[in-house]
Amino acid sequence: MMYCRGVRGATTVERDTAEDILEATREMLQELIARNEIEADNVASAIFTTTPDLQAEFPAVAARQLGWRDVALLCGHEMTRPGALGRCIRVLIHLNTTRTAQQIQHIYLREATALRPDRATMTVAADTLASEADANGAAEATPAATGGSRP
């Protein structure tokens, strides 16, 4: 049975340039795609937000560059809050999938790991498992395959 699941991601950039925004957004999306086996046909929509200090480019352009031509995409700004993380790009993907909510892997990269330290730790653990699998020649080592927790 297919369910619509929310898949979250966040990353940051050093500078407010189109190049930095697109590169960081592509990196985040590629990681989300790989970790959750996302196919564009299964994405109902994606909402991108940036902090108000980012204005050089729409992050959704990066999704179009990755082939999401028929996916409904929307960009907006996060609310302003004193002390909030700056130069941050976030995404909420509405994904049609057979995965359970616990099987969805949310990704927090760069300085955005501070937003969800619990998720960032699990992302690092998943990276370590994947590196160990490559070193050992294993077909795949994921938190699910090794009995570890999933983000």
Residue 84: CB atoms within 10 Å: 12
Verify whether residue 88 is a known catalytic residue.
no
For 97, phi then psi, to 5°, come to: -155, 160
Verify whether residue 8 is a known catalytic residue.
yes
Verify whether residue 87 is a known catalytic residue.
no
Rg (CA), the chain: 16
Residue tagged active-site, from 8, 35, 87, 119: 8
Verify whether residue 90 is a known catalytic residue.
yes
Residue tagged active-site, from 27, 78, 110, 111: 78
Which residue type does 133 have?
A
Verify whether residue 5 is a known catalytic residue.
no
* Dihedral, CA of residue 83, residue 84, residue 87 and residue 93, to nearest 10: 180
Residue tagged active-site, from 15, 64, 132, 140: 64
**Rounded Cα distance, 38 and 20, in Å:** 24
Verify whether residue 81 is a known catalytic residue.
no
Q: Please give the DSSP secondary-structure letter assigned to residue 151.
A: -
Verify whether residue 64 is a known catalytic residue.
yes
**Whether 111 contacts 32, CB under 8 Å:** no
Residue tagged active-site, from 35, 87, 90, 119: 90
Give the catalytic positions in this structure: 8, 64, 75, 78, 90, 108, 116
